[in-house]
Amino acid sequence: MPQLNPTPWFMTMLLTWLTLLLTMAPLVQSYLVKPPSKYNQHQAKHQNPWKWH
C-alpha cells in the first residue's frame, strides 16, 4: 500500500508546516509591523504623503 500511495507523509508535512505558519504568522506580522520608530515614520511618510505636506 505505501508504495502505491506515498503522498500522505508529504500531505501531513505540508499540513504541519501550514499550521506552524498560521500560528507564527501573527507573531511575525506584529514583529514586522512594529519596526523602530524612525523606520515607522519613514514608511508612514511614503505610504501617506498628504499627511506630511
pLDDT of residue 26: 82
The number of residues making up the chain comes to 53
Whether residue 20 contacts residue 14, with contact meaning beta carbons closer than 8 Å, is answered with no
pLDDT of residue 15: 94
pLDDT of residue 8: 84
What is the tens place of the pLDDT at every residue in 11-31? Answer: 899 999 999 989 988 887 777
CA atoms of 4 and 51, how far apart (whole Å): 62
pLDDT of residue 25: 85
CA atoms of 42 and 36, how far apart (whole Å): 10
CA atoms of 39 and 26, how far apart (whole Å): 20
